[in-house]
Amino acid sequence: MISVILLGAGNVASHLYKVFHNSDTITVTQWYNRHIDKISTFKNEVEITDDLSALKRADIYIIAVSDDAIATVSEALPFQDRFVVHTSGTASLYDIDAKHRRGVFYPLQTFTKGAEVDFSNIPLCIEGLKKSDFKLLKRLAEGIGSKDYKVSTEQRKRLHIAAVFANNFTNQMYRIAHEITEANQIEFEILKPLILETAKKIQTMSPYMAQTGPAVRGDKKTAKQHLNLIENPQHKAIYKLLTESINDTHGRKKL
């Protein structure tokens, strides 16, 4: 049994609490939050507290708070030489106070409040300075059915940038498609199956192999027709730049 104390009550903390609570190999010893009312609905299931000095002993202390607060909270913990991890995609492992054994337990996924989360489908990026601590995080990931990946702080920073492309920028592509359909009285619904299929395709095929469309074919005629039809100057600039990017990736001559 791995004993865990959770600190924080945001999206990540709440989802982790639920999945730990349901695990056979993990027990949540305590749940701490600065404002106890945020977690008081769970008081019959788990010991809750808003007092750092009341924290018990546990195998792992998981700080799931905003990036800016990680240093402060870890410093305020009234003990040392225990295993303390954060759950951030961007904060350094070294943001955790040096008096602790330090680690990172970062689930890479967009958490939506209220929505159910299937952890068996969430990659866990783990980092630990000591071999035994690292192994403990591996077991913690296993305990919630997640696949774990060893990712260093430097790698995690790059992974976060990659996630901005794969998630935020992709979503902006959907948004622009939405703007184009709305402006032309076309139902955005029509594009939804295509969007899903595009994401499904790269689950088993590289994005390089999956590419289709005028840019990868080097079809300059269609690209020029499109550019003539696009009125929004920003959309036009994005169309040009991304067509160039696809041309470059696939060794096509530029537009």
Scanning residues 45 to 84, which ones bind a copy of itself (CB under 8 A)? none
Q: In this structure, are strands 48-49 and 26-32 parallel, antiparallel, or unpaired?
A: parallel
Contacts of 146 (CB under 8 A, 6+ apart): 107, 119, 120, 122, 123, 124
Alpha carbon distance 239, 226 (integer Å): 9
78 or 114, CB closer to a copy of itself? 114
State which of positions 149-188 bind a copy of itself (CB under 8 A): 149, 151, 154-155, 157-178, 180-181, 183-187
54 or 205, CB closer to a copy of itself? 205
- Give the binding range for a copy of itself (CB under 8 A) out of 12-20, 29-37, 38-46, 212-220: 212-220
Render the burial of 200-221: b for 16+ CB within 10 Å, e for the rest. eeeeeeeeeeebeebbbeeebe
Distance set, CA 117 to CA 12, 18, 30, 113 (Å): 10, 9, 22, 10
82 or 240, CB closer to a copy of itself? 240
Give me 230's structure tokens.
Answer: 């696009």
- Give the binding range for a copy of itself (CB under 8 A) out of 26-34, 44-52, 80-88, 231-239: 231-239
- Give the binding range for a copy of itself (CB under 8 A) out of 1-9, 43-51, 56-64, 115-123: 115-123
- Shortest CB 252 distance to a copy of itself, Å: 13
Alpha carbon distance 121, 208 (integer Å): 24
- Shortest CB 191 distance to a copy of itself, Å: 5
- One-letter amino acid of 88: S
- Give the binding range for a copy of itself (CB under 8 A) out of 2-10, 80-88, 107-115, 136-144: 107-115
190 part of the interface to a copy of itself, by CB under 8 A: yes
- From the list 49, 244, 252, 255, which residue makes contact with a copy of itself (rule: CB under 8 A)? 244
Alpha carbon distance 127, 135 (integer Å): 10
Alpha carbon distance 121, 61 (integer Å): 23
Alpha carbon distance 171, 234 (integer Å): 16
230 part of the interface to a copy of itself, by CB under 8 A: yes
- Give the binding range for a copy of itself (CB under 8 A) out of 18-26, 49-57, 79-87, 194-202: 194-202
Tell me the site size for a copy of itself, rule CB under 8 A. 83
Cα within 13 Å of Cα(23), Cβ side: 25
